[in-house]
Amino acid sequence: MPDLIKSVTVKDIRFPTSLEKDGSDAMNLAPDYSCPYVTIITQSGLTGHGITFTVGRGSNIVCEAIKLLSHLVVGQDTTIIFSDFAHFWRSLTSEDQMRWLGPEKGVMHLAVAAITNAVWDLWAKIEGKPLGNFLLTWSLKNWFLLLISVIWMML
């Protein structure tokens, strides 16, 4: 039975690591570790959660990119996403007006990572397995198709 994605939300979570200079180095003198935290909710009420890692104010930009990509996720049928995950991933990394920002690096890479991490989590919950166990049981065909998609995007 189809379960459509109802919403994608993002929270900007920050850790004030710059106060004690935790995590500082020669390039990052006062980092505040941050993570855009994505929650995907389906019509049936299931949730998927995903994060990506950033530093400080860079998180603002990644959160905005997630919001800009969310229209590609909301309304999607989870069974269609799961039947061709590589196609779903490509739809996020090939969005016409955002692609030029770099789907394979930088802001867009981080935004897509947070969204796809939430979708992985949602998929595992639908399958009733912890995420690690779910990934171990994923078919070789699915891994191969995803790998080909990633290589194709890098060309």
Three-state DSSP class for residue 44: coil
How far is 94 from 102, CA to CA, in rounded Å?
9
pLDDT value for 95:
83
**pLDDT tens for the 155 residues of the chain, in order:** 679 999 999 999 988 777 776 666 667 677 778 899 999 999 999 999 999 988 888 899 999 999 999 999 999 999 999 888 888 988 998 888 887 777 667 899 899 999 999 999 999 999 999 988 888 887 777 777 777 766 665 55
pLDDT of residue 117: 92
Cβ pair 63, 36 in contact under 8 A:
yes
* Residues forming beta bridges with residue 8, ordered by sequence position: 40
- d(CA 121, CA 130) in angstroms, rounded, equals 8
Convert 20-46 to b/e letters by CB count within 10 Å (16 or more is b).
eeeeeeeeeeebbbbbbbbbbbbeeeb
Class of the CATH-defined domain 4-151: alpha beta
Residue spans per domain, the chain: 4-151
**What are 99's two structure tokens?**
């692609």
β strands within 43-154, DSSP E: 47-51, 54-55
Q: Taking Cα atoms as reference points, which of 31, 36, 148, 127 lies closest to residue 78? A: 127
Instruction: State pTM to two decimals.
Output: 0.85
pLDDT reported for residue 145: 72
